[in-house]
Structures are given as structure tokens and as C-alpha cells.
Amino acid sequence: MNGNEPFLQRESVKSVLASLLSIVIGLAFGALVVLVVGLTSKDLGAGSAWEGIRLIFGGLFSTGRGPTGLLTWGFNGQSIGNMLFRAMPLIMTGLSVAMAYKTGLFNIGAPGQYLMGTLVSLSVALGIPSGSLPKALIWLLAFCGALLAGALWGAIPGMLKAFLNINEVIACIMTNWIAANFVTWMFSVSSFKNVVENTKSSYIYKTTYGLVDGAYVNGAGVATAKMGLDKVFPGSQVNGGILIAVLFAVGVYVMMEKTTFGYQLKACGSNRHAARYAGISDRRNIVLSMAIAGALSAGGAGLYCLSGNTEFFWSTYQSLPAIGFNGIPVALLAVCNPIGVIFTAIFMSMLSISGLQLTNLTAYNEYITDVIIAVIVYLAAFSLVIKMWLGRRKKAGRANANAAPPPKPQPAAADDKKGGGAQ
Amino acid sequence: MTFLIQQTLLYAVPLMIVALAGVFAERSGIINLALEGIMIFGAFVGVLFVRIMQGSAWVSGAKAANAYGTLQLFELLAMLVAALFGAIFSLLLSFASINLRADQTIGGTALNLMAPALALFFIRLIANQNTLYIDGDGPSWFMIKKAMFGYGRTDKMSWLGETFVNKMYLATYVCILLFVVLSIILYKTRFGLRLRSCGENPQAADSLGINVYRMRYTGTTISGALAGMGGFVYALTTANCTSNGDVAGFGFLALAVMIFGNWKPGNIAGASLLFGLFKCIAAAYSSIDINGDGVYLLKEIGINENVYRMLPYVITLLVLAFTSKSSRAPKAEGIPYDKGQR
């Protein structure tokens, strides 16, 4: 964009404004639901609704209730640390969706890739006997295993798309449910089910458990290094994984924006046929793009599982992980900018922390934050319209602004489906 | 055998009707990825309706007097309410994708996120737990029993009666009837032809005086109504009339059925029976005695239940892979219709 353009007319500024507007509308809708429920319910009242609304907006800084029963506010290291911890896998799944979207693919397969990452990272971390290898190496093997598994899993819809022209959305949905059943199957016949602690056999061991002489011992396994973050945010789950996730975001940004490879990927996304005409192998790039997206999702699972303080409920054949799906709002809200993903992921986890506070402190529950997220995604679906509206409102006397065709944020969406006669 | 047929029907019918819901949307040119979400919403509303109405004198009186006919009417009413709210919910998708020309995939995903969130938010407020139950259980209220036809406790109905009447639900048959009627409407009437033309070539349809926007609204609204109703029928017949913000991926399975059936009602009916059979086997493979000789064949083969659960999706992918050249997806699906671009 040239420098002469008015500030509010710039594409990037309009994107940020559109996202902020979506967030505000989403939060307002959540507040409205709470208000209506509070006012119409017999048990709740306007007072509780007001408390709920304040928690929706500022739950991160809630410190519970004071002796008089009023909500208290202030710095809450535990909440902030947990927010960063939750943001860690979300950054990865958000990157996965964003990166695929930039190359013209809608990666709704993130949940399945995430599950495959879970399967492999846990199996490697728990399968290698403690002591046979240094802990750091086991961690690294497990993480890289997750990346690889995700890449392979993501490549399946990629190949179906590239060679058989099957719509990647449908293929991804199918592979999601295949993964859910496959992971359940593998864990159900594995020896990783927690039989040491009572009533926990429906969960897989935390990775802090290690295999010592054929039995699992807590403390002998691996866990991501805390890197001092537990001192900054005492009592929270945060660990060094968040830094790794941020590094990945920067890496994806550099790859997409500063390398020839990234340029080729984006070219295929904008117009597959034109890219091929320019000598770019479109098939190879579609497969690679989905593989990288898959690796990123599964990497999120690796970081989450290898934290050492998370447990995986293995009988997952009926449900897909929310972290995978939430990569979609994270990416859309960030307009698929890898650096933006860091912030939107943190925002999403802030919402979920607010939701927890809402559950703990009031009669409302955390699902209202999912409603808010859904509203934001819904608005993201027509961010184009919002952007056009913003452009019209903030028009700075540029007569040709309206005459020019509206900018397309989803370059390949329509073209892609037109070509996909064989869905 | 009786058990196998009954269970397969119970699983297959919601799939069938929701897959038809997908057909109506896609034939009109809108990709309805939100089937799962609309099902969840319909199931929630239907169960909530039943729960609220149970307190009314009309329903509780009928239950006390064993007035089976009234209870069956009540069941149909609940289906209708679920359909109505499913249709209303789907308007969100229609509005975004028709009026605002939004990305239909993202819009559908938003609905899929919204439905469980809304359902669970209210279920927690109403029931203070994650599952919404009705007073008593579904079977005791709505299941068709041989006692209704004057049979005693020890009497046996004929084989046909035992299989297709006893311990079945009226909802199942209403859905089958609807499926047939709507399929005929889609393929044998002027309205159906117009609807389908909007999914193939909306520009041509518009030039012949068909209101593409209205047709697409009609298609997605019918789709929403069917999916909402299908969600409630699923909750009623396979989940004891409870709702927990989840239909176990049935909406996505219906999408698979639709593709597997190549967007044609006849094939869809067959595909849903096949997938229903897989679901049924996965759920009860260790206790199915196919020919009644005391040998549990499926258990002895020793295939993991998760393989049966996985099969529908794997088969769909394979079918897609092998038929991608001849697949007959509606040509204009997923493309927003812009009058200016004729």
C-alpha cells in the first residue's frame, strides 16, 4: 500500500478494526445473554447479571470474592499464567488454520491432526523407558514425533485435494472422525492407561510418569521446562512451551512473508491455475501446505501433552478436541496473520479464564464464552461486509474508493469451490 | 435379528432425514456444514419442550390415564417444535450466506460452535449439570409397546409386529414418510426443479424469473427444519430423550451419507441403512446373535469396535476418491449468488 493512503483506509487497519468490532459485538452479545437471563430468571437478578457482565469483560483480573461477598479485582498471577498456558496450543492450532487459509485451504482438520499429535507424543514419551535416553532427548523425540504424525495426517486431505480434486473441507471432516476413532482404538489397547491412581484409568498417564522396570512411576518422566515462568506467575500451569509456540509463529511469519517457498504457497492459494502457468507445482504445494498445517496442529498437541500437568481422556471417539476447532476463530480473528495469531490466541484463552471465573463465582457458567467465540466466528464469516462498511463510513473523500472492487480477504474461496465440481 | 433390524433403523433414520436436510440446502446452492449444530440445537429445544410440557395438565393427565394416542401426539408436537427452532436457527446461516454473501464454510462452522455452547449454557442454568433429562425416561413416555394393542405381558406379536411395532417409535416412521414425500417434491414437482436449478446454474434460473435468493432461503430453511427435527429424533430414539449439547458427530456422519449417496434420495436411504448398521454393530457387536444359534460371531472375529465406528468415514473417503471424476455435486454450491455478476 502506498503511504499516501489515509490511515483508516489502509487494508491492515481496516482488518484490525473489523476484528476489534467483531470482538466488541461478541462480548456485547454475551453480556446481553447474561443480562436477559439474569433479569428473567427467578433465582438470579440484576445484581448477579451485573457481576456476570463485569466478569465477562474483566475476568482475568478477578481475584475472587472479598469477605463482604463483593467481587474483588487485582493482579492475578495464577489466572494470567493459566491464560498463557491455554494460549500455547491455541497459537499452534491457530497458526495451522491461518497458514492453510493463506494458501487457499480451509483446514477444518485441525482437531484430527491435534489428536494424532496427542497419540504420538504421549506414546513416545511414555513408551521409551526412563533412563534409556536423556530426558531432554525423549521430550524432543516425542515433540518431533507429534510434528511428523500431524504432517502425515494433514497430507492425506492435501493429497486428496491435489490429485483427486476432493474438497478439503469434506476430507478433513472425515479424517477428523477417523482420527478420533483411531486414537481411541490405539489407546484402548495400549498400556498407557493410568492404573496407578485410582479411578483414573479412563485417562492416560501424565508425561511426568516414566517407565521404570516395567512399571510407571510419577516423577521419572518428562515435562516441558518451566523456564522461570512459574516464579513470575505462581500457582499457574504455564511453562516454556509458550515461548516455543511464539517462536513457531515468528517462523511461520518469516516462511510465508520472506521466502520464495511461502510466496509459491500463497500464489497457489490465490489462483491455482495461474500458479501452475507460472511454473509452480500446484499439487506439491497443496500437499506441503496441508502437511505443514497438520504439523503445526499436532505440535500444539505435543506442547500441551508434554507439559506434564495435563491428562488425556482417551475414549474420545464421540468428540473432537475443542482446541482444534478453536484454532479457526483464532486464525480468522487474526485475519490469518501469524503474528496476530499470538494475540488472538491469548485473547481467546483470556475469555476462557473469564468463563472459569464466571463458573466459580456466579450462577452462570463458562459456556457463555463459547457462545461469544461462536458469535465472533459468525461475524468473521462476513468480515468482508464489515470491512466494506468501515470503508464507507471512514471514507476520506476518495471518490474511486467505492468504484474499485472490494478487496477479497479469502482469495481462493469462491474460485476454489467452482473448480471443485468433484467435492 | 429383530434387535439388529430395530437398532439399525433407529440409527439410520435420523441419519437419513438429516442427510436429506443437507440435500435440500446443497441443491439450492448453499453448503450446510451446520447440520451438526442444528441437530444439537433441535435436540436441545425438543427435549426442553418435552420437559416443560410434562408439567402441564394435558400431558400429565394423558400419561396418568395411559392415553397413548395423546402421548404420541405430544411426541409429534415436540418434533414439530424442534423443526421450527431448527429452521429459525438455520436462518442465521441463510442470512450470512445469501444476503451478506459470506463464506458458507465459516458460517456453518460458527453455527456448529454456537449450538453446543448455547445448549450447554442453558442446560447448566436449567438443570445445574451437563445433561438435560426429562421427567422419567423417553421409552416410558413415547415408545410403542405391544400393550397398546391389547397384548398381554406374555403374549407375543407376530414377527413383523415384534420387529417393526413393538419397542419402536412413531417418530421413526414419520421421518421415513417425510423422507419419501420430500424426495418426491424435490424431484417430481415444479418447485423441486426450480430449487435444484438454483444449485446448478443460478444465473440461468434467475433469467427465467426464479427468485434465487428466495429459493435458497427456502432450501436452507427446509434443511434447518429437517436437521432440527432429526436432532430431536436422534435424542429421543437413541439417547433416551436427553440432551447434552452433543450428537456424537451424527451431523457430520449425515454429511458423509449425503456425499456417499451422491446427493440422491434413493442412494442416501441405502447409505444411511448401511451406516446405521455399522453404528449398531459398533455399539453392540459383542451381544449380537445374528441367527440365534448362541454364537456371537462378530465378537469371535475379534475386530475392535472402533474399526466399525471408523468404517463409515473411511468408506466415504474411499468412495470420494474413486468417484471424484463422476461425482454429481450441485455445480453452484458454495458460491454466493450475486445478481450483478450475470
A392 vs B133 pLDDT, higher one:
B133
Indicate if the pLDDT at residue A415 is higher than 50. Answer: no
Residue A399 reports pLDDT greater than 70: no
State pLDDT tens for residues A286-313.
999 999 999 999 999 999 999 988 888 8
Helix residue ranges per DSSP H, B201-327: 202-207, 212-238, 250-260, 265-284, 297-301, 305-323
pTM, to two decimals = 0.87
* Cα–Cα distance measured from residue A209 to residue A310, given in angstroms and rounded to the nearest whole number: 12
**Nearest CA of chain B to the CA of A239: how many Å?**
29
Question: Given an 8 Å threshold on Cβ–Cβ distance, is B114 in contact with A374?
Answer: yes
* Residue A138 CB-density burial (10 A; 0-12 exposed, 13-18 middle, 19+ buried): buried
User: Distance, in angstroms, between B154 CA and closest chain A CA?
Assistant: 38
Alpha helices of A128-227 — where are they, by DSSP H?
Answer: 135-164, 168-188
Nearest CA in chain B to A414: B335
User: Which residues in chain B touch residue A418, judged by CB atoms under 8 angstroms apart?
Assistant: 335
CA distance B157 to chain A (A): 36
ipTM, interface predicted TM-score of the complex = 0.87
pLDDT at residue B291, rounded to an integer: 63
**pLDDT-derived band of residue B321, with 50, 70 and 90 as boundaries?**
confident
Q: For residue B121, give the nearest of A317, A367, A414 by CB distance.
A: A367
**Predicted confidence (pLDDT) at residue A123 exceeds the cutoff of 60:** yes
Q: What is the pLDDT of residues A307-363, one digit of tens each?
A: 988 888 888 888 888 899 899 989 988 888 999 999 999 999 999 999 988 888 888
- Name the residue among A173, A190, A202 with its Cα closest to residue A119: A190
CB-closest option in A178, A367, A413 to B103: A413
State whether residue A414 sits within 8 Å of chain B by CB. Answer: yes
- Look at residue A414 in the predicted model and tell me its pLDDT: 40
Residue B132: exposed, middle, or buried by beta-carbon count in 10 A (0-12, 13-18, 19+)?
buried
* B162-183: average pLDDT: 91
Does B100 contact A165 at a Cβ distance shorter than 8 Å?
no
Say whether residue A153 is in contact with chain B using an 8 A CB cutoff: no
Interchain CB distance below 8 Å, B125 and A37: yes
Q: What pLDDT is recorded for position B195?
A: 93
B253, B306, B329 ranked by CB distance to A423: nearest: B329
Q: CA-CA distances (angstroms) from residue B74 to A194, B53, B62, B67, B80?
A: 47, 9, 10, 11, 10
Which tens digits make up the pLDDT trace of B8-44?
999 999 999 999 999 999 999 999 999 999 999 999 9
| pLDDT for A204 | 87
Provide the β-strand partners of residue A360.
none
Spatial distance between the Cα atoms of B218 and B226, rounded to a whole number of angstroms? 12
**pLDDT at residue A297 in the model:** 96
Angle at A320 between CA B308 and CA B122, to 5 degrees: 120
Task: Using a CB–CB cutoff of 8 Å, tell me whether B200 touches chain A.
Answer: no
Of the ranges A10-19, A341-350, B146-155, which is most confident? A341-350
A193: DSSP letter: B
Distance CA A271, CA A265 (A): 10
User: How confident is the model over A393-422, as a mean pLDDT?
Assistant: 44
* pLDDT tens-digit series, residues A366-381: 899 999 999 988 988 8
Q: Which of residues 60-119 of B touch A (CB under 8 A)?
A: 92, 96-97, 100-107, 109-114, 116-118
- Number of helical (H) and strand (E) elements in chain A, helices listed first: 17, 6
For each of the domains in chain A, give its residue range(s) and CATH number, in order of start.
7-75+382-409 (no CATH), 78-347 (1.10.3470)
Residue B213 is predicted with a pLDDT of: 92
Q: Cβ neighbours of residue B233 under 8 Å, at least 6 residues apart?
A: B13, B14, B17, B79, B169, B171, B172, B175
**Which chain B residues have a beta carbon less than 8 Å from that of A185?**
304, 306-307, 310
B114 and A332 within 8 Å at the Cβ level: the answer is no
| Region A63-88 average pLDDT | 86
Cross-chain Cβ contact A173/B252 below 8 Å: yes
Whether A100 has a pLDDT exceeding 80, the answer reads yes
Q: In angstroms, rounded to a whole number, what is the distance separating the alpha carbons of residues B341 and B54?
A: 53
Query: Which pLDDT score, from 0 to 100, does residue A181 have?
Result: 93
In which residue are the cell numbers 454450491 written? Answer: B333
Whole-number percent of chain A with pLDDT over 70: 90
**CA atoms of B40 and B232, how far apart (whole Å):** 8
Domains observed in chain B: 2-337 (1.10.3470)
Across the range A106-127, mean pLDDT stands at 94
Mean pLDDT over the full length of chain A: 84
CB contact (8 A) between residue B321 and residue A166? yes
Cα–Cα distance for residue pair B262/B137, rounded to 1 Å:
37
Residue B236, C-alpha cell as written in the block = 429421543
Inter-chain contact A374–B110, Cβ cutoff 8 Å? yes
Question: Closest partner residue to B110 among A177, A319, A377, by Cβ?
Answer: A377
* Average pLDDT across chain B, whole number: 88
pLDDT in tens, B50-103: 999 988 888 888 888 888 888 899 999 999 999 999 999 999 999 998 988 888
Q: Is the pLDDT of residue A400 over 50?
A: no
Q: What's the pLDDT band for A112 if we cut at 50, 70, 90?
A: very high
Residue B95's Cβ-count burial label (10 Å; 0-12, 13-18, 19+) is middle
pLDDT at A5: 65
**Residue A325 touches chain B, beta carbons under 8 Å:** yes
Classified as helix, coil or strand, B132 is: strand
Chain B residues within an 8 Å CB radius of A315: none
State the burial class of residue A91 (Cβ atoms within 10 Å of its Cβ: 0-12, 13-18, 19+): buried
- Alpha-carbon distance of B340 to B342, in angstroms, equals 6
Q: Is the pLDDT of residue A408 over 50?
A: no
Q: How far apart are CA A331 and CA A319, in angstroms?
A: 22
